[in-house]
Every structure is written in C-alpha cells, then in structure tokens.
C-alpha cells in the first residue's frame, strides 16, 4: 500500500467497529494471563500491542512489532514505545525459539509464500509457544476489496488447520468470526462485483455513522461469548508449537 493508504488505514484502526472487534478476538484467544515475549507480525499502527500491554501490563511483557512498512512503523512509534522491527512474515529478524506468543492477524493472505511464513512462525516460537492467526475466509468471497488490500488469497478453516498440524502445531481453538454480520458481508462483497471502485482504497472499511458503528461493534462483542460460529468472514486459529 502507498503512503496515503497506510495513513488512511492508521486512522480507520482507531475507531472502526471491525478493527476493534478483531482486536477483541485476539485478546480472547490470548487468554486471561500472558507473559514473556509477544510478537505481533504485521503490527501496522501498534494498536494491538497497546491493548495487550494494557491488559497484561503486570506480566512483564517484552512486546515486539514487525511490519514491512517503514511509514507504518514510524506512525506506531509516535503512539507507543514498544520495540519495532522492519521485516516480513516470510523472513523474521528474530532468533530461533525466542518468542512466547506470536500474533499474525490478517497477515498470511498478504504473503507470496504463506507456507514459508508458517515455517518462520514455528522457527521463532519457543516449544509450547502460542500462535494466534486470523485470515479472511472463503475464496468464493474474493472481490475488489481483496485486490485493494493486496491479498493473495482467502482461506478455509480445514486446510489451514491441517497445514499447521503438519508443521507440528497442536490446535487448541479454531473457527469462524464475524458470523453474526456475515449476511451483510456477503451481500456487500457480491454487490462490489457489479461496480468498479473509484480508487484503490474504496474497498477498505469506511467507518459508518457513530450509532451504526457502535451497534455493529456491540453485535460482534456479543458473538465473542458464543464462539465459534459455523461461518463468518474471518478464520481464526490458536495453536501451540509442539516439541521438535
């Protein structure tokens, strides 16, 4: 994404219902306690690291953000004081077995070689370390939105679970999220195929009027209490690295 798009994304993340709900999903998968080194790959604005720190500040966390965009990291450093590293999911500048929790929230779909990224995640995680993944669901929902965000693919839960198990991970929890608003999502994506976007970021989530934004967020917050849904626009997995 170019500079204009990154800045727009940075602003959207602050209050948009979708980003807030996805962060809440990651925090739920993280669990009530967290300590050690936590790495957020594809950290962008650093908002998620800030929320993890706010919830687990007493855990003695070492928080690391990784992102390929120099601008995104600069914006993150303006808002937070965590450690940031410029890099890609397929080649992390981190030592072997150095991370206790690795978060890859909507990252794999951007990689040219997602298998190599999964191998890197396993390499840097300690034995027993947790991997938290979210990715867009359903290749059949591919649209201009995906092209605008430079996605390479969308995912289905079963194949992603198998690829993790094949790499020595044990699946602790998995499923679909944003199921409660999934019908709206499907209609929106199908309609987008009938019109051409005015620009590359037309497909990005715009924040709706405040009342609508808060209502959508409240619906997704309620969904967190009944996970997993049988369908949804996001696939999530919490997996643990097994012994070598």
- From residue 194, alpha-carbon distances to 39, 115, 152 in Å are 40, 33, 21
Give the model's pLDDT for residue 102.
Answer: 98
Give the model's pLDDT for residue 111.
Answer: 97
Give the model's pLDDT for residue 188.
Answer: 83
Give the model's pLDDT for residue 207.
Answer: 82
Asked if residue 228 has a cis previous peptide bond (ω within 30° of 0), the answer is yes
Give the model's pLDDT for residue 2.
Answer: 63
Give the model's pLDDT for residue 197.
Answer: 55
Phi, psi of 31 (to 5 degrees): 95, 180
| Count of residues making up the chain | 244
Rounded Cα distance, 67 and 40, in Å: 9
Identify the sign of the CA torsion 103, 109, 112, 116: positive
Give the model's pLDDT for residue 201.
Answer: 46
Q: 232: buried, middle or exposed (CB in 10 Å: 19+, 13-18, 0-12)? A: buried
Class of domain 3-241: alpha beta
Give the model's pLDDT for residue 203.
Answer: 46
* Beta bridge partner(s), residue 203: none
Domains of the chain, by residue range, sit at: 3-241
Block means of pLDDT (10 residues each) for the chain, 244 residues, are: 72 88 96 90 92 81 94 87 94 97 97 98 97 96 86 97 98 97 89 63 67 96 92 97 88
Rounded Cα distance, 119 and 194, in Å: 38
């Amino acid at each position: 994404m170019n500079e204009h798009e990154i800045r727009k994304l940075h602003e959207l993340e602050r209050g948009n219902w979708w980003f807030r709900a996805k962060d809440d999903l990651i925090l739920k998968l993280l669990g009530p306690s967290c300590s050690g080194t936590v790495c957020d790959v594809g950290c962008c604005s650093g908002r998620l690291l800030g929320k993890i720190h706010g919830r687990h500040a007493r855990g003695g966390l070492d928080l690391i953000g990784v992102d390929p965009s120099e601008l995104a990291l600069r914006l993150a450093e303006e808002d937070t004081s965590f450690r940031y590293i410029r890099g890609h999911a397929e080649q992390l500048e981190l030592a072997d077995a150095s991370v206790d929790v690795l978060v890859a929230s909507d990252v794999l779909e951007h990689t040219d070689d997602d298998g190599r990224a999964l191998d890197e995640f396993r390499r840097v995680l300690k034995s027993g370390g947790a991997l938290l993944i979210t990715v867009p669901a359903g290749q059949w929902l591919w649209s201009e939105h995906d092209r605008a965000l430079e996605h390479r693919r969308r995912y289905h839960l079963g194949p992603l679970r198998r690829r993790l198990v094949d790499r020595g991970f044990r699946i602790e929890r998995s499923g679909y999220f944003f199921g409660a608003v999934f019908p709206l999502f499907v209609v929106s994506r199908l309609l987008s195929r009938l019109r051409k976007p005015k620009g590359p970021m037309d497909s990005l989530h715009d924040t709706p009027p405040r009342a609508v934004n808060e209502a959508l967020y409240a619906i997704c917050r309620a969904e967190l209490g009944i996970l997993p849904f049988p369908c949804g626009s996001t696939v999530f997995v919490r997996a643990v690295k097994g012994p070598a």
